[in-house]
Amino acid sequence: MNTTDAQPAGENGAATPLFTAQGVSKTYGHVKALMDVDFEVRPNEVVGLLGDNGAGKSTLIKILSGVVSPDEGTFLRLGDPIDIGSRRKSEAAGIQTIYQDIALVRSMSIMRNIFAGREPLRALGFLRMREMRETAMDILDKYVQIAGITSPDLLVEELSGGQAQAVAIARAVHFKRDILLLDEPTSALSIRETEKVLAIMRDLADSGVSCVFVTHNLYHAFRVCDRFAIMAHGQNVKSVPKSETTLGELTDIIMTH
Ligand SMILES: Nc1ncnc2c1ncn2[C@@H]1O[C@H](COP(=O)(O)OP(=O)(O)OP(=O)(O)O)[C@@H](O)[C@H]1O
Ligand SMILES: [Mg+2]
């Protein structure tokens, strides 16, 4: 078996993980937010990161996205150690994060948000507006067929939560991240928008962008995830493929820890 490239995750999950976090710990004052946590993301999967309030899910997501530094922890990409100690380094390692209040600039257009900070420039520093507009339209047509996004010139402040998320997803897709972290992306969305975001996650995973889906909605998790990583009180509880568990069992595990 070729061990240098990502292999599609088999039933037994024996593929080289796309990304591995080992022994991650983080303390805030007296609160042990994470204690020796292991977590991995495999190729072509949606992994549900589950656990009750305060389990440490968001802390782990923030560490993986480079905005919080862990006290301890080792990180590997395809088996090789990597540094994810800043947002830029985390992005360079292929990770893009979508928070509920996504880091989009609300007063700027969809197009400018997709390219934010990475705009293609001409000599003298002029932006390649036409190129950006065409690329933005292309991404929006391909990946973001969410109702109401009719033009890349719409301002993000005019968008709904789900539409804004779709823009953030488009940004991740355009810059070819292959790991998308989504921390409670559907908690404030309408049914229609939620369905769209779930479908986008599934499509992305199937096309090579693995997704980490943090949610309290086990029905949503069960529909879209290939595997579940359950945490409680800052620790790992269990990692289980969907084929080996049930909605009832997941609920029990979370309720009893
Ligand atoms: N910036 C911070 N300062 C102090 N304590 C924090 C901070 N961030 C998180 N914590 C604490 O760390 C623990 C884990 O919090 P975290 O936000 O990671 O949980 P979570 O699993 O995302 O919970 P929820 O489902 O409620 O979003 C909690 O006890 C929380 O109070
Ligand atoms: Mg959280």
Q: Is 55 in the pocket of ligand 1 (CB under 6 A)?
A: yes
> Are residues 193 and 88 located together in one domain of the fold?
yes
> Are residues 167 and 194 located together in one domain of the fold?
no
Q: Is 54 in the pocket of ligand 1 (CB under 6 A)?
A: yes
C-alpha 245/C-alpha 146 separation (Å) is: 32
Q: What is the pLDDT of residues 121-178, one digit of tens each?
A: 666 666 678 888 888 888 777 766 666 677 888 888 888 777 787 787 877 777 778 9
Q: Which tokens belong to 220?
A: 């949503």
For residue 104, count other CB atoms closer than 10 A to its CB.
Answer: 21
- Domain hosting 139: range is 102-176
> Are residues 119 and 167 located together in one domain of the fold?
yes
Q: Does the pLDDT value for residue 9 go beyond 70?
A: no
Which is nearest to 229 in space by CA: 37, 6, 36?
37
What pLDDT was estimated at residue 194?
Answer: 86
> Are residues 187 and 254 located together in one domain of the fold?
yes
84 Cα to the center of ligand 1, angstroms:
20
On whether residue 249 sits in a domain, the answer given is: yes
What pLDDT was estimated at residue 35?
Answer: 98
Domain count, the chain: 2
On whether residue 110 sits in a domain, the answer given is: yes
Q: Which tokens belong to 7?
A: 């292999």
User: Which residue has the least CA distance to atom 17 on ligand 1?
Assistant: 58
Last residue of a domain, one of 161, 176, 191: 176
Q: What is the pLDDT of residues 185-230, one digit of tens each?
A: 887 778 887 888 898 899 889 989 999 999 999 999 999 999 999 9
On whether residue 37 sits in a domain, the answer given is: no
> Are residues 143 and 246 located together in one domain of the fold?
no
Q: Is 56 in the pocket of ligand 1 (CB under 6 A)?
A: yes
Q: Does the pLDDT value for residue 67 go beyond 70?
A: yes
C-alpha 173/C-alpha 118 separation (Å) is: 14
> Are residues 156 and 194 located together in one domain of the fold?
no
On whether residue 25 sits in a domain, the answer given is: no
> Are residues 224 and 107 located together in one domain of the fold?
no
On whether residue 244 sits in a domain, the answer given is: yes
On whether residue 247 sits in a domain, the answer given is: yes
> Are residues 192 and 167 located together in one domain of the fold?
no
> Where residue 247 sits, what CATH number does that domain have?
3.40.50.300
What pLDDT was estimated at residue 6?
Answer: 47
Rounded to an integer, the average pLDDT of 116-121 is 67
Q: Does the pLDDT value for residue 4 go beyond 70?
A: no
> Are residues 234 and 256 located together in one domain of the fold?
yes
User: Which residue has the least CA distance to atom 10 on ligand 1?
Assistant: 33
Last residue of a domain, one of 176, 205, 223: 176
Q: Which tokens belong to 182?
A: 């989504």
Q: Is 26 in the pocket of ligand 1 (CB under 6 A)?
A: no
Least confident of 93-107, 179-193, 200-214, 226-240: 93-107
Residue 58 CA: nearest ligand 1 atom is 22
Provide φ and ψ at 86, rounded to 5°.
Answer: -150, 165
On whether residue 107 sits in a domain, the answer given is: yes
On whether residue 253 sits in a domain, the answer given is: yes
